[in-house]
Structure 1
């Protein structure tokens, strides 16, 4: 469980996800661009994950959830198919800066076994490329530059750690030779 003060968790929870209102709610029309009006049943809006989740678990007097959450576009079938084909060519950062964190949060809310498998496989396959790039830098304009620009925040942290450890091992080897 992330810390309350974890900026990455805050940024993940602020990412917008598609939601569909299951009931008509008076006074929430401003969410749909109609201030002063009720938001009608069946209205689709994008809300921050934290708000959508809270409204999805909140039940009204009819024991119906206020809204239902849908998977965000960055986890759509089209993206999942692209990740299955070759996850190294997908610009994950363009999809969501905190892609894996958002995927993890959505898996807490949805029972999507295939999505879990795809995200796990994607991370494993991309981690190999990240480690290779960290240990054998090819320069800012090298062949791996496009891949590195598409890393999400957790992958960037992995790259930094792998790069720093590689540098530390090289320095240690130089010190041993002295």
Structure 2
């Protein structure tokens, strides 16, 4: 469970997701960039995740249906399956794994769970390696590190700080 004041959760909920209006709604044309008018049934609009979720579950029949965000499209999932290390997650969504977790709360998809878990595991090994080898992080690993999402950046910092603390401890023992 996340805290009400969790900045990462707030930023994740602000991520835009595609929604399809199931009913026509008067005077909401501004959501489509229309300053006046109605939102017609079948219109596709990108809304913040928190709003799309509320509109999808608020009444029966639902006002909107949520679609998968482009960051979790089949194309991205296939790229993660092929080689997760080559995907720039930050460009897709700064809070990629948090977005995935929120989407999985709404849609039950076993394959997506497996792909995201495997991607995180394979990338975590590279992150730990880069954190322990500072020269790699500055050289060929720099592009990979720029593409880390926020969770991976926290993992990198923790790995880097722990490796530095172990080196300091080992040097203190030698003295």
**CA positional deviation for 1:37:** 1.4
CA distance in 2, matches of 1:90, 1:109: 24
**CA positional deviation for 1:141:** 4.0
Deviation string, structure 1 residues 8-53 (Cα, Å, up to 9, x no partner): 1111000100000000111111101223312111000000001000
For structure 2, the residue ranges without an aligned partner over 5 or more in a row are none
2:69 — aligned with what? 72
Please tell me the root mean square deviation across aligned C-alpha atoms, in Å: 1.0
1:10 — aligned with what? 10
CA distance in 1, matches of 2:19, 2:93: 18
CA distance in 1, matches of 2:16, 2:165: 40
Deviation string, structure 1 residues 47-76 (Cα, Å, up to 9, x no partner): 0001000100011xxx20000000000100
2:144 — aligned with what? 147
More helix by share: 2
1:32 — aligned with what? 32
**CA positional deviation for 1:139:** 5.4
SS at match of 1:47: strand
Indicate which of 102, 113, 116 corresponds to 1:116: 113
2:158 — aligned with what? 161
SS at match of 1:8: helix
SS at match of 1:166: helix
CA distance in 1, matches of 2:137, 2:152: 17
SS at match of 1:38: coil
SS at match of 1:25: coil
For structure 1, the residue ranges without an aligned partner over 5 or more in a row are none
Q: How many residues align?
A: 175
**CA positional deviation for 1:140:** 5.5
CA distance in 2, matches of 1:86, 1:138: 23
SS at match of 2:20: strand
2:47 — aligned with what? 47
Q: Superposition pairs for residues 93-132 of structure 1, below 5 Å?
A: 93-132=90-129
